[in-house]
Structure formats: structure tokens, C-alpha cells
Amino acid sequence: MEQWRSKLPVGAVSAREAARGAVQAGRSCTAEGRVRHPSPANPVNALTLDIEDYFQVSAFEGIAPRAHWDDYPGRVEANTHRLLDLMAEHGVRSTCFTLGWIAERYPALVRRIVEEGHELASHGYDHRRVRDLDDAAFREDLIRAKGLLEDAGGALVRGYRAPSFSMDARTPRAWDALAATGHAYSSSVYPIRHDHYGMPDSPLGLHRPNGEGSALEIPVAALPAAGRTWPAAGGGYFRLLPYGVSRWSLRRINAEGRNAIFYLHPWEIDPDQPRMPGIPARTRFRHYVGLRRTEGRLRRLLQDFAWDRIDRIFPEVMG
């Protein structure tokens, strides 16, 4: 895996080197160029992208089997370029949790992610839920995706996000497997109750679920109120609820001295994506609601808050 250093494309930098670079103008940073760690006076949040195509979401598994993915018209490349253009316009850097399947087919896209200063991280190879894999299969998936991403991007991959936030109390050994395969951290837990995922009893901030020797966990944003935790990390809630709800939630989280982890998929800014036939009404609503307003809302979000990559906001992941 260390051979990645010899494969750096022209203009690319490693995650460690990028973390030492200058943070975009106007942000408070240390002399080394690293964002100061959580402070109510410095509410820098992490913008994260889950780089997958519209037909790869877990809700479509029954009608879009992996063996036929290449038969669908791909839209992830164009949509991700749109997001990268938008972030360049606002001077924002993000963490891109990318499928190994995507890196195989769109290596130039992965190179652009790295060359423009974003953190390259893993989303697994082909979007299989962690809880559906045995230990050996999970380890194989981690190694395969990490290798493909590092080869395509020429940057060391330290981070991982489980497809569909599928790491929870049912996958207790997952954080040990991440550490054993060279991953420093995960951002795979959503500390809420949901019918498909969630770990409501999880700590809200950075922690090490299995103690020393396991990977760190940095959960996505959730807001405690009225005896439970509420979603504040983006995704379908960002498309469904009024924009003011997301803005208010993130401000509350920042006021508590926490850095919010927010996420988005490239297909969420694509209202013209092909409609998948034969899906239940509930799944159809969840996937397609609000697609036409997502890009406009994202522009507002980039203006209303300060954003950066996970590995700059949380220097612990750099070792």
C-alpha cells in the first residue's frame, strides 16, 4: 500500500501534506495550517460526499443487481464534477467517500478530487452493507476499495464510510478490521433511530468504539433534544425539510462546541436522473423528493457555514 507515494499525479498531494497546507482565506488556523479543533468561536464543519451513482443506493438493490450496473447510464461522473465546480467556486474542501467501483471506471474523476485538495476516502467497493458481510468478506472489501482508490488518486486513504451507515452494535468488530487494513477512522454511524440504520446510543463526537488499537469513529451530525437525537447531517432530510431547519440545527451543534459532519450524494443534485421502475412508493418518495432544490440549498449552506475536510478538522486521524 505504501507504493502510492510513487504514483502521485502532477500537482497532487497526499492527505498528510494537504493537511499541512493553508486553509482557505478567512478561516482560523494554526501556524501549521491546520484548522483549530472544536471551539464555539471556530465552528468549522466537515462537508462529506458519498460518491456513488443513482442506481447504487441500497434501496434499489432488489431491482438494480450489481451484475447489471454497467448497463445503466452512468451519471456520477458529471454530477460529481458539478459538485467539485461548486466547491471550487466557494473555496471549500471536502472529504469524498468514494466507491472502489467508481475508481475503476472513472480514475480521472478520482484524480481531480485529489488534485483540487479534497480528501479521498473509501465507501467500500460496491456498496455492500457491512452488516451483510462476514469478517473475511468485509476485510476483502476494505482492501480492494482502498487499493483501487489509492492507485487512481495517488493519495493515501485513511477514512471510511460504511454504505447506508451500516456499522452499529451488530458489527462490533468492524472498527478493528478498519484499523487492521490501514484505515485511521470511520464516519459510518448516524446516532439516530431510523428504520434502515442508526445507533442512537452512540456518542455524538469523535471516539474509539473498541478502545486503543481500533479505528476512530466520527459520527455524522445529530442534535439531542427532548430526550432523543434528531438528524442534522443532510441526505434526504436536507431535501425534505425547509432549509432553515438544517441551518438552525447546524448552528445549535456549533454552539455546543461540536463540528458537524454533513453529507450529500452526487445524485441528489440531479433531478433529471432516470427513474427506477417497480420501486415502492415510500422508497420513491425518499429518493426523489426535493431533487430540484438541493443544489440551491447547497449553495446557501456553503455560504452560511465554514467547511473543510475531516482530516483537517480532526487532526487525531493523522496519527
Tell me what the mean pLDDT of segment 141-161 comes to: 98
Q: Which residues contact 319 (CB under 8 A, 6 or more apart)?
A: 184
Task: Tell whether the model's pLDDT for residue 6 goes beyond 50.
Answer: no
Q: What are phi and psi of 92, to 5 degrees?
A: -105, 140
Over residues 81-137, the pLDDT tens digits come to 999 999 999 999 999 999 999 999 999 999 999 999 999 999 999 999 999 999 999
CA distances from 162 to 44, 93, 141, 185, 299 (A): 23, 21, 11, 11, 26
Q: Which domains does the chain have, with CATH numbers?
A: 2-17+47-318 (3.20.20.370)
> In which band, very low, low, confident or very high, does the pLDDT at 73 lie, cut at 50, 70 and 90?
very high
Better-scored residue on pLDDT, 229 or 33: 229
Task: Tell whether the model's pLDDT for residue 31 goes beyond 70.
Answer: no
Residue 66's DSSP bridge partners are none
From CA 73, how far away is CA 273, in angstroms rounded?
A: 9
pTM for the full predicted model: 0.86
Write down the mean pLDDT value for the chain. Answer: 87
- Following CA atoms 155, 34, 85, 245 in sequence, which dihedral angle do they give, to the nearest 10 degrees? 120
- With contact defined as beta carbons under 8 Å apart, do 217 and 209 qualify? yes
